[in-house]
């Protein structure tokens, strides 16, 4: 059998988000909303995945390779979106319709729906679910035989009667159609409804009018099929996505001390026996090894090897690479830098565009002056370097292996291996100063 084509509807305006950005580009756990169903479709083994976008093509830049894009010329409803993708529909294959704003649908849910569709032998199967609060969703009216009679919309008053508003079974916006039946029906959709749009669920009415049955496939976990129309739902669905991410890591051997106080993006990888303490955020494609301790840290696009200690109050920005057994301590910011095996930056430092060799230990208040106002420059610190507190390293600059810096130094010239770099004014003490009469400063004091 030809694997199904998956169409993902994502061309709507998303007015209820009240955003300058298209709704489906809003992120859940670091992944734009629309890419969640795209990933699920690919994982479910779709023959072809096509996203329906609006004419601005805002989604084009983020779609993974091999995922197609078609444009819906005007925002005239979910039916219009599928109509715009007609050329992508293979009459011989099943077509799965997903919604760009129903992100948590899983590959397994898609596979089960397709199996139910095949078992039902109907031209259309709709995924439904029961919701405690079904407001805003299309409600499913069933016929005496338990098949779908029709869907009534409730977004805008005028489509549903008050009895229909009592129905708690909703259309999830996810369907499977036989390509041929869908293609034959789409041209007959009308905009004769409260929103004056082409409603995709009207396809079901039209099929029934021809005497065909429409099957319903009830999804037991409503969390998989919640739609996001506003930012309240975005937060609710994000919380579900986050919980699933946490559970995946915990089951794989990661301790997350307080999941409610920990944010971990979907692409993050974490090794076994790593402990994530509360108030930690880990973003982007960050990789963390095994046996690490991460305390109260904010980490973006970084690579952390095994046995590393981070935080509390650490900020790791993109391009940070912490090698095995290294330590980034309290109030330390690192960016685009490589910290060698066993090296330590324990307190109050900024390390940007730097390479720090293995076993080096940089004193409190070490700052790389990596930016001269025009361009960024690198700082190279060798192995086993001992940095004094309050060392400023004015890049480009190199500190050799086994070298030292004196506390309070502003290092502008390379330090050879094994040398001590001292770059500060000598101290001078003014004797008996406390005993002097107070008055304007004399020349000695100025």
Q: Which is nearer to Mg ion, 229 or 255 (CB)?
A: 229
Q: Which is nearer to ligand UD1, 6 or 200 (CB)?
A: 200
Comparing every residue's Cβ against Mg ion, the nearest one is 227
Contacts of 365-368 spanning 24+ positions with Cβ under 8 A: 365/389, 365/390, 365/391, 366/390, 366/391, 366/392, 366/393, 367/391, 367/392, 367/393, 368/392, 368/393, 368/395
Q: Shortest approach of ligand UD1 to residue 314 CB, angstroms?
A: 38
Q: Shortest approach of ligand UD1 to residue 161 CB, angstroms?
A: 16
Residue 402, classified by CB atoms within 10 Å of its CB into exposed (0-12), middle (13-18) or buried (19+), is middle
Q: Shortest approach of Mg ion to residue 54 CB, angstroms?
A: 15
For the question of residue 296 being annotated catalytic, the response is no
By the criterion CB under 6 A, which residues form the site for ligand UD1?
9-12, 24, 52, 72, 75-78, 80-81, 99-102, 137-138, 151, 153, 155, 170-173, 199-201, 227, 229
Tokens 């920005």 found at: 317
Q: Which is nearer to Mg ion, 98 or 264 (CB)?
A: 98
Q: Shortest approach of ligand UD1 to residue 364 CB, angstroms?
A: 51
277 close to 257: Cβ distance less than 8 angstroms: yes
Q: How many residues bind Mg ion (CB under 5 A)?
A: 3
128 close to 38: Cβ distance less than 8 angstroms: no
Tokens 């397709």 found at: 114
- Per the structure block, which two tokens stand in for 24? 């489906």
Q: Shortest approach of Mg ion to residue 318 CB, angstroms?
A: 33
Q: Which is nearer to Mg ion, 28 or 183 (CB)?
A: 28
Residue 310, classified by CB atoms within 10 Å of its CB into exposed (0-12), middle (13-18) or buried (19+), is buried
Other C-beta atoms lying within 10 Å of the C-beta of residue 79: 22
**Residues 6+ positions from 215 with CB-CB distance below 8 Å:** 116, 117, 120, 122, 124, 125, 126, 147, 148
The catalytic position among 39, 296, 347, 377 is 347
80 binds, among Mg ion, ligand UD1, none (CB under 5 to 8 A by kind): ligand UD1
Q: Which is nearer to Mg ion, 53 or 101 (CB)?
A: 101
126 binds, among Mg ion, ligand UD1, none (CB under 5 to 8 A by kind): none
Which of 19, 149, 195, 229 touches Mg ion (CB under 5 A)? Answer: 229
| CA atoms of 271 and 296, how far apart (whole Å) | 18
101 scored as a contact of Mg ion (CB under 5 A): yes
What positions carry a catalytic annotation?
Answer: 347
* Footprint of Mg ion (CB under 5 A): 101, 227, 229
């Amino acid at each position: 059998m030809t694997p199904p084509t998956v169409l993902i509807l994502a061309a709507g305006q998303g007015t209820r988000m009240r955003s300058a950005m298209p709704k489906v580009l809003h992120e859940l756990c670091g992944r734009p909303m629309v890419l969640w169903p795209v990933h699920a479709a690919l994982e479910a083994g779709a023959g072809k995945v096509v996203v329906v976008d609006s004419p601005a093509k805002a989604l084009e830049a983020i779609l993974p390779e091999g995922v197609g894009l078609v444009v819906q010329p005007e925002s005239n409803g979910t039916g219009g979106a599928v109509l715009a993708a007609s050329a992508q529909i293979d009459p011989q294959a099943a077509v799965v319709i997903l919604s760009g704003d129903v992100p948590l649908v899983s590959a397994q849910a898609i596979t089960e729906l397709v199996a139910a569709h095949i078992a039902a032998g109907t031209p259309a199967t709709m995924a439904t679910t029961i919701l405690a609060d079904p407001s805003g969703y299309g409600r499913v009216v069933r016929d005496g035989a338990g098949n779908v009679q029709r869907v009534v919309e409730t977004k805008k008053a005028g489509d549903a009667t008050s009895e229909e508003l009592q129905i708690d079974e909703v259309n999830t916006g996810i369907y499977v159609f036989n390509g041929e039946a869908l293609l034959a029906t789409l041209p007959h959709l009308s905009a004769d409804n409260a929103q004056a749009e082409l409603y995709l669920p009207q396809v079901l009415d039209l099929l029934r009018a021809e005497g065909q049955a429409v099957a319903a496939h009830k999804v037991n976990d409503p969390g998989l099929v919640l739609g996001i129309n506003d930012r309240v739902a975005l937060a609710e669905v994000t919380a579900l996505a986050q919980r699933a991410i946490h559970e995946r890591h915990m089951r794989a051997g990661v301790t997350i001390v307080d999941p409610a106080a920990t944010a971990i993006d979907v692409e993050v990888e974490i090794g076994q026996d790593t402990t994530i303490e509360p108030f930690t955020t880990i973003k982007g494609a960050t990789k963390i090894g095994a046996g690490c301790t991460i305390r109260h840290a904010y980490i973006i696009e970084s690579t952390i090897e095994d046995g590393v200690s981070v935080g509390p109050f650490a900020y790791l920005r993109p391009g940070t690479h912490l090698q095995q057994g290294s330590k980034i301590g309290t109030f330390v910011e690192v960016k685009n830098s490589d910290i060698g095996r066993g090296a330590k930056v324990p307190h109050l430092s900024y390390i940007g565009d730097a390479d720090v060799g293995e076993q080096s230990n940089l004193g409190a208040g070490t700052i790389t002056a990596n930016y001269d106002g025009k361009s960024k420059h690198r700082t190279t610190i060798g192995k086993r370097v001992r940095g004094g507190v309050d060392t400023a390293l004015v890049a480009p600059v190199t500190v050799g292996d086994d070298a030292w810096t004196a506390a309070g130094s502003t290092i502008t010239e390379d330090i050879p291996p094994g040398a001590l770099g001292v770059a500060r004014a000598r101290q001078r003490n003014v004797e008996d100063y406390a005993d002097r009469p107070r008055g304007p400063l004399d020349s000695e004091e100025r």
